Amino acid sequence: MTVTQSTPEAMFIDGKAIEGASGKRIPVFDPSTEEVIAEIPDASASEIDRAIAAARRAFDHDGWPQTTAQERGRILFRIAEKLRAEAPQLAELESRNSGKPIVEAEYDVADAATKISGTVNPVPDNALSLSLKEPVGVAGQIIPWNYPLLMAAWKLAPALAAGCTCVLKPAEQTPLTALRLAGWLNELGVPPGVVNIVTGFGETGGARMVEHPHVDKIAFTGSAAVGKLIMKSAADTLKRVTLELGGKSPNIFFADADFEAAIDGALFGVFINQGEVCSAGSRVLVERSIYPKFVEAMTEKARNIKLGAPLDRETKMGPLVSREQCDRVCKYQQIGRSEAKVAIGGGQPAAFKRGYYVEPTIFYDVDNSARIAREEIFGPVATVIPFEDERDALKIANDTPFGLAAAVWSRDIYKALRMVKAIRAGIVWVNHMQPTYVEAPWGGYKQSGFGRELGIHGIDEYLETKQVHINLNEQPIGWY
């Protein structure tokens, strides 16, 4: 490990930059050079509590939930404009911190707007029944390292739009863009305590947020294993929980699909962002009649994927985020070598002396019961599985504990739509894979979690519904 000029970072609590009281700091790495580029405080329980107290006060006493939706909307638009103005610098920082190729980092900045309204309920009595939407309270938000700023935006924007206050914990590997954002919040008009950003480890700081009685809701994005821990722990205080977890998504290619587009779609589906994508199309299901030709074409095209430094604009695949993730993916490459045939890759590229690089890897003749087809690898590893017909494709597609995403490639619209309806997943693409819009819902079925992010669906997850019953009958109840 080389230490160069590492920048000490601070947390953001109650509108102020806060160093950790313990003085303990966590190194943050550039995964392409393995150099330490920053250090963040390891938040202690007292700092987590302080952030929660600030969010509680901002919610209960300082009037944030009572601000009008228009006022909150104006603040969100100011944040969005700032992010747009700073997009090149943020993309560079994100790219350096996460290993994401710079051309991909530039796509990740988004904004959100709010349209929250109640309803009038059609009660059959002489009464007016209204459903009002109200913010759920203090939201604890825990995010992973693969799309750090994007994930922060997906969490903060709907919570603020709804009138909640937030304590956000980025992953300890990739906190830098969220902290950069924090540094602008005061000047953009976010009142103290409304957004707090704490750094440190999930097992300590994150877990503290989940068990804390003054946090009303946990919004978590991360692995299914940690999602299960969070759900159990949140039960003690009966918190609202939304979980955006992992996947093992099928990318399904019928023989009648546009072949060139299909090969591109198979590669893009699984290798974008080094495969560190929750919705990665890591199970490539191919109809038997085109299977050999498909594997060959996919392999040929994968040879052109340029691995390199994240900030090089020609780079199509950067390093994985950390030593730990690199070791994990290498372990799966090894397991895959004993479970299936290797078309390309299967190890680490010899060309790099430093950095957490792994080869884009395609395993074929994979059985859907193999570990590489069942467990989320979260790296550039594709498992190609043949299928006989539509029925077989559907059976394999749904034979997974996960249900985040899927894609179907076919020119037969009837077949494609039959598949769309029968696949158990929160998002299904037809003749594409991965585009995501902030206006459309995102989230999983089965062990990929529950709750939806983005658009009005995402804001709903930060709202309670209050029923108001207004008696329109002037007579006494007359019961006694």
Task: Figure out which of the listed residues 222, 275, 308, 345 binds ligand NDP, where binding follows CB under 6 A.
Answer: 222
Decide: is 378 part of the binding site for ligand NDP (CB under 6 A).
Answer: yes
- End-to-end CA, the chain: 80
Smallest gap, in angstroms, from Cβ of residue 40 to ligand NDP?
10
Decide: is 146 part of the binding site for ligand NDP (CB under 6 A).
Answer: yes
Decide: is 48 part of the binding site for ligand NDP (CB under 6 A).
Answer: no
Q: Rounded to the nearest 10 degrees, how much is the dihedral formed by the CA atoms of 75, 79, 82, 87?
A: -160
Q: What are phi and psi of 384, to 5 degrees?
A: -100, 125
Query: CB-wise, 203 or 439, nearer to ligand NDP?
Result: 203
Decide: is 206 part of the binding site for ligand NDP (CB under 6 A).
Answer: yes
Decide: is 210 part of the binding site for ligand NDP (CB under 6 A).
Answer: yes
Q: Which region among 196-204, 303-311, 349-357, 455-463 touches ligand NDP (by CB under 6 A)?
A: 196-204
Q: Which region among 159-167, 176-184, 243-251, 343-351 touches ligand NDP (by CB under 6 A)?
A: 243-251
Residue 85 makes CB contacts below 8 A (sequence gap 6+) with: none
The CA-atom distances, in angstroms, between 332 and each of 20, 46, 138, 263, 303 are: 37, 39, 39, 23, 20
Q: How far apart are CA 145 and CA 175, in angstroms?
A: 8
Interactions with ligand NDP, residue window 76-115 (CB under 6 A): none
Task: Figure out which of the listed residues 125, 203, 258, 260 binds ligand NDP, where binding follows CB under 6 A.
Answer: 203
Q: What are phi and psi of 273, to 5 degrees?
A: 55, 40
Catalytic residues: 244, 278
Decide: is 451 part of the binding site for ligand NDP (CB under 6 A).
Answer: no
Task: Figure out which of the listed residues 98, 221, 282, 447 binds ligand NDP, where binding follows CB under 6 A.
Answer: 221
Decide: is 145 part of the binding site for ligand NDP (CB under 6 A).
Answer: yes
* Cβ 95 vs Cβ 141: under 8 Å: no
Smallest gap, in angstroms, from Cβ of residue 199 to ligand NDP?
8
Task: Figure out which of the listed residues 172, 287, 339, 390 binds ligand NDP, where binding follows CB under 6 A.
Answer: 172
Task: Figure out which of the listed residues 56, 72, 155, 169 binds ligand NDP, where binding follows CB under 6 A.
Answer: 169
Smallest gap, in angstroms, from Cβ of residue 444 to ligand NDP?
6
Q: How far apart are CA 179 and CA 198, in angstroms?
A: 9
Task: Figure out which of the listed residues 90, 157, 195, 230 binds ligand NDP, where binding follows CB under 6 A.
Answer: 230
For strands 240-244 and 250-253, give the pairing: unpaired
Query: b/e map of 365-391 (b: 16 or more CB within 10 Å)?
Result: ebebebebbebbbbbbbbbbbbbeebe
Decide: is 344 part of the binding site for ligand NDP (CB under 6 A).
Answer: no
Q: How far apart are CA 361 and CA 298, in angstroms?
A: 11
Handedness of CA 303, 251, 385, 419 (dihedral sign): negative
Chain residue whose CB lies nearest ligand NDP? 202
Handedness of CA 449, 454, 460, 463 (dihedral sign): positive
Number of H helices, E strands in the chain: 15, 23
- The SS3 assignment for 41 reads strand
Decide: is 328 part of the binding site for ligand NDP (CB under 6 A).
Answer: no
- The SS3 assignment for 88 reads helix
The CA-atom distances, in angstroms, between 126 and each of 7, 57, 472 are: 66, 40, 5
Q: Which region among 104-112, 215-223, 302-310, 384-392 touches ligand NDP (by CB under 6 A)?
A: 215-223
Smallest gap, in angstroms, from Cβ of residue 405 to ligand NDP?
9
Decide: is 399 part of the binding site for ligand NDP (CB under 6 A).
Answer: no
The site for ligand NDP, by CB under 6 A, has a size of 29
From residue 403 to residue 422, what is the string marking binding to ligand NDP with x (rule CB under 6 A)? -x------------------
Residues that bind ligand NDP (CB under 6 A): 142-146, 169, 171-172, 201-203, 206-207, 210, 221-223, 226, 229-230, 244-247, 278, 376, 378, 404, 444
